[in-house]
Amino acid sequence: MTVVMQETRFSKAVRARARRMRQSPGRVVIWLVLAVVSVALMYPFYFMAMTSFRSEQQYELGRGFSFASWSALFSSVPVGREIANSLGICAVSITFILVIATCAGFALAKTQFRGRRLSLLAIIGSMMIPVQSMIIAEYVNFSKIHLINSYAAAIAVYIALGTPFATFLMSTYFRGIPEELIDAGRCDGLTYTGCFWRVAVPLAKPAFATVVVLQFIPIWNDLLIGLLFLQEPNIRTFTVGLGVLASSRVVNVPSLMAGSLLSTVPAAVVYVVFQRYLVRGLTLGTAR
């Protein structure tokens, strides 16, 4: 009896879904478009995975399975050290970006001071400056103070590039926090600093997660700044190591694909961990 009831429910659900699909043919088109886009986006990962588990001879033949490319990658590139360098640079850069952007975003959203709107416009305008137009000046300035081939130079550039957008995002998020919460904190005797730490910061976890994801991915994948400021082999990031591997006279394509596949893992992990906060952090405050 239970099996019959379950089959009946399943058949009803199938018929209801088919009826909804007939009633809205546009939904079918949307699903087809999404399926095509998904296949197009996932194919590079499929190609990297299939190629990384082949030797050079198997790659040329288009068939076979081997771990030779992974062995060649770990023998030619100090993978562990370069990944540690990349993670350390990302962690320090994002920490500074979060601290600066959170303080500035709260000040721009919840305090009144002369030049507040002009400051916000200047921050938004700085987001429009391409990195290529300032990188030469940054390189010259850091070379004059002997900071080339140091983590400090790369981290400083990442902070300078990431802080404007993070500040704009945090100010938008804090603008969505009701003014009544800040007023209640002020009535309880809190200063603006106290309201910031006890009211705003605990409510800003979705915004923090959004900043972490949106800053981690470009810093992790960056090649230009790493090539300019981290030229010594012992301080290279993983992306720079892959760039050096690809610039050799004879390129081992399966090994390069293995490294590329490995480089996607940290970014994917960060996104999966913080993805439930991502949409909320991007949208809250936009309606105000």
Domain positions in the chain are 2-52, 78-283
Mean pLDDT, residues 68-79: 86
Q: Identify whether the C-beta of residue 93 lies closer than 8 Å to the C-beta of residue 158.
A: yes
Q: How many other CB atoms are there within 10 angstroms of residue 168's CB atom?
A: 19
Indicate the DSSP class of residue 196.
I
Rounded to whole angstroms, the Cα distance separating 200 from 182 reads: 8
From the number of C-beta atoms within 10 Å of its C-beta (0-12, 13-18, 19+), residue 222 rates as buried
Which is higher by pLDDT, 20 or 55? 55
Mean pLDDT, residues 104-114: 85
Choose the weakest-confidence range: 10-19, 72-81, 108-117.
10-19
CATH 2.30.110.10 fits 78-283, yes or no: no
Tokens 């030779």 correspond to what residue? Answer: 68
Tokens 């009946």 correspond to what residue? Answer: 8
Contacts of 148 (CB under 8 A, 6+ apart): 139, 142, 228, 229, 231
Band the pLDDT of 287: cuts 50, 70, 90.
very low
Band the pLDDT of 4: cuts 50, 70, 90.
very low
Question: Which long-range contacts (C-beta less than 8 Å, at least 24 apart) are formed by 98-104?
Answer: 98/166, 98/208, 98/211, 98/212, 100/159, 100/163, 100/166, 100/167, 101/163, 101/166, 101/167, 101/169, 101/170, 101/211, 102/170, 102/201, 102/204, 102/208, 103/196, 104/163, 104/167, 104/170, 104/171
Rounded to whole angstroms, the Cα distance separating 194 from 183 reads: 12
Choose the weakest-confidence range: 36-50, 157-171, 188-202, 259-273.
188-202
Indicate the DSSP class of residue 54.
S
